Amino acid sequence: MDAKHASAHHAPPPPPPQQQQQPPHASPLERLAGDLRDLICEHLALDHFRRLTVPQRRATLVHLARSSPALYAPAARALMRVADPVVHLIPLTDHATAYLAVGRRNGFLSATTLHPPDLVGAIGIVTPRSRVVLNRLFDGHYARAVNDWRRAMTQAMAHAMASHDHGNSDDEHDQGPGQGVEGVGVPHGHAEHGWEHAADIDWSELVPHVPPHDAAMRDDLAALILGVAEKQKWYLIWTAPTPGTILPCGPIVHGSALIPVPLATVRRAHFSGGLVASLPPYLTHARITGEGPELLCDQAARATVQLAWHFPPTMASLELTGHTATGLSYCVVAPIAAQLPRGLRSITMTHLAMDAACTRVLALHLPPNLIKLSLAENGVPGIALDPLLRALPRTVRSLNLDGSRFDTPESVDALVAFLVETVRSLEDLHLAGGFARDADALARVIAHLPRSVHEITLDLNYLTADAAGVFAMHVPHALRLLSVARTGLDADAVHALGSLPRSLRRLVVAGNVLSDAAVEELVHRVPQGLRELNVAACALSAEAVRALVDVFGVPRGRGGGPNASAEAPGGRAECAVDVSDTAVVMTDLAVLEEVVAMRNFVVAGAGGGASR
């Protein structure tokens, strides 16, 4: 192991969250164990105290939640059972009686009146300005301003990158660790403290442009989009506003409906819909999803970049998901990747349309003790996979590169080197669609599969009989999941697979055209302990379906009790068999009756439901 990877084991761990110290005057209730506090609040919510009315129980829970950080969590959980309607979180400024701009569940910012309980689940940001200004947030100026912002952002980032590349072109080959790689520059000494190009840009100037006479609206947009860097208070709304306080710009939230959230107790946060707030100081798990239309993705992108500057060092897991259709551009993903906390153990960045430049920046800032990395559905090209895999810490146990393209010899070499160096530690490997029809490259990778792997996904690759034979010789002994959907699997390839390991519990061969001979081979290759077999959309014949029923079928009237042994005929473990989207099952009534009679068979048509 080289020095780059060896130093990862000596990286200092992130500072632990501060323990919640009970004040000297803590009440007897606060001194109780956490499970007892939960039990008391739950009994209070479920009317186990018969003498209290519903309003009294709500008021008591609200008082407990406000009184102490130690009582907030159990009281808030119990309050959700009796709140009218269900509570939801919003980020708030200090103006507790200001107007609330809300967003509908489908993601669009809207001036449409939202009546309870439609308000439940909406996310809002409070602004101290008047309702007239708030109404203008929803007119055509805002929609047009977004496109202006996108152009300005792209031009500014391109200018910063071009300036940096031009200045460093002479000494590009003399850069040390932490510096630029092939035109993507991160100056030495800044690798852990931020992305210099992003820091050089005045982000406030990139707020969507609005006419000068709409200065108040511009200020509101700045607070809405870039205000996440400020320390905002979080409040829990435990009751909806009365109908009389619902205005076209949003509802007025009274101070009595708010419960301050003790941020020091928050460990997990999920932001969706493009509106985000400041991060709790001891957050360990953050999930940010950019679901919705392109307009919403722009909002999420701008806010997420600001949010990344405040990732706490206690973070252990980060999930960042873009929109499938639009993705997030380089000027967004790159600065986020440059701000990753060094203590992260799990990184999931999917549907971000990451190009080579984004991936190279990520490679420079990978945490040293990373355990899980998922870059699924990003379409990462091979030219970027090479530096990423060489920089990837060998502590990684789960690697998901579904949708990435190993289309260069260097990327295949880097993957093989990674597999060789993680031969005893890697547990999950997902490479769907990575090799297209390059069966030789796939066979080479299969030949170096670590023996420690538990789950393998090879969907959408071309698995020939030769590649299947290589897999049979190097199959991990502890394999529990094998997915080879839509790989062109035929009878010869199934035969070449040989007997699958006894540890296998789930086998997915969906989307392959399986002949009767292939099904017969498959039935004899799977282990007795298999629990799930997916042969959906495999163009099975009636004889093939009946063969599966004979081997795996468990009649519905057999062993239906809760303590019944989960075994099929012949001592085989009960295995769920998915034969969905099989034409003969839907057209041949006799075959359909045989399948439906089995409690462990799943049948679903392309346009219908499932039966089990």
Q: Which residue has the higher pLDDT, 596 or 330?
A: 596
pLDDT in tens, 519-561: 999 999 999 999 999 999 999 999 999 999 999 999 987 655 4
Q: What is the pLDDT of residue 466?
A: 95
Q: Which residue has the higher pLDDT, 130 or 507?
A: 507
Secondary structure (H, E, C), 65-82:
HHHCHHHHHHHHHHHHHH
pLDDT in tens, 83-92: 655 444 444 3
Are 585 and 604 a contacting pair, CB within 8 Å?
Answer: no
Residue that is written with structure tokens 């320390």 in the block:
231
Q: What is the pLDDT of residue 278?
A: 64
Query: Whole-angstrom Cα distance, residue 302 to residue 149?
Result: 10
Q: Name the most confidently modeled range: 29-33, 77-81, 153-157, 412-416.
A: 412-416
Q: Which residue has the higher pLDDT, 300 or 218?
A: 300
- Above 90 in pLDDT, residue 157? no
Residue 44 one-letter amino acid: L
Structure confidence at residue 111 as a pLDDT band (50, 70, 90): very low
What is the pTM (predicted TM-score) of this model? 0.71
Q: Name the most confidently modeled range: 95-99, 145-149, 332-336, 513-517.
A: 513-517
Query: Whole-angstrom Cα distance, residue 503 to residue 37?
Result: 43
pLDDT in tens, 587-602: 888 999 999 999 999 9
- Above 50 in pLDDT, residue 159? yes
Q: Where are the beta strands (DSSP E) in 157-198?
A: none
- In three-state secondary structure terms, 425 is coil
Work out the mean pLDDT of the chain and round it to a whole number. 72
Residue 222 one-letter amino acid: A
pLDDT in tens, 224-245: 444 433 445 566 767 665 555 5
Q: By mean pLDDT, which of 116-130, 176-190, 361-375 is the weakest?
A: 176-190
Query: Whole-angstrom Cα distance, residue 187 to residue 530?
Result: 53
Q: What is the pLDDT of residue 457?
A: 98
Say what percent of the chain tops pLDDT 90. 36
Q: What is the pLDDT of residue 433?
A: 95
Q: What is the pLDDT of residue 3?
A: 45
Mean pLDDT over 286-296 rounds to 58
Structure confidence at residue 360 as a pLDDT band (50, 70, 90): confident
b/e code 285-301 from CB counts within 10 Å (16+ = b): ebebbbbbeebbbbbbb
Q: What is the pLDDT of residue 314?
A: 93
Query: Whole-angstrom Cα distance, residue 380 to residue 357?
Result: 10
Strands 346-350 and 317-321: parallel
Q: What is the pLDDT of residue 338?
A: 87
Say what percent of the chain tops pLDDT 70. 57
Structure confidence at residue 585 as a pLDDT band (50, 70, 90): confident
Dihedrals φ, ψ of 113, to 5°? -65, 130
Count of C-beta atoms within a 10 Å radius of residue 471:
25
Q: Find out whether the peptide bond into 85 is cis, omega within 30 degrees of 0.
A: yes
Mean pLDDT over 200-221 rounds to 42
Q: What is the pLDDT of residue 486?
A: 96
Q: What is the pLDDT of residue 216?
A: 44
Contact partners, residue 361, CB within 8 Å, separation at least 6: 184, 186, 195, 333, 334, 337, 338
Query: Whole-angstrom Cα distance, residue 140 to residue 125?
Result: 20
**DSSP bridge pairs for 567:** 573
Are 539 and 582 a contacting pair, CB within 8 Å?
Answer: yes
Q: By mean pLDDT, which of 142-156, 166-180, 184-198 is the weakest?
A: 184-198
For 190, half-sphere exposure in the C-beta direction (CA atoms, 13 angstrom radius) is: 15
Q: What is the pLDDT of residue 286?
A: 86
Structure confidence at residue 290 as a pLDDT band (50, 70, 90): low
Contacts of 50-56 with C-beta under 8 Å, sequence gap 24+, read 54/82
Q: Find out whether the peptide bond into 476 is cis, omega within 30 degrees of 0.
A: no
- Above 70 in pLDDT, residue 291? no
Helix intervals (H) in 19-139: 28-31, 34-45, 54-67, 69-82, 131-136
pLDDT in tens, 242-273: 555 544 444 555 566 667 777 777 787 776 65
- List the one residue out of 95, 98, 124 whose CA is nearest residue 274: 124
Mean pLDDT over 404-428 rounds to 95
Query: Whole-angstrom Cα distance, residue 530 to residue 514?
Result: 19
Q: By mean pLDDT, which of 273-277, 338-342, 455-459 is the weakest?
A: 273-277
Residue 330 one-letter amino acid: Y
Task: For residue 566, count CB atoms less than 10 angstroms from its CB and return exposed for 0-12, middle for 13-18, buried for 19 or more.
Answer: exposed
- The domain ranges of the chain are 28-82
Helices 439-446, 409-421: axis angle to 10 degrees equals: 10
Q: By mean pLDDT, which of 99-108, 204-213, 416-425, 434-443 is the weakest?
A: 99-108
Q: Which residue has the higher pLDDT, 51 or 404?
A: 404
pLDDT in tens, 28-70: 888 788 788 888 888 887 766 667 787 888 888 888 888 888 8
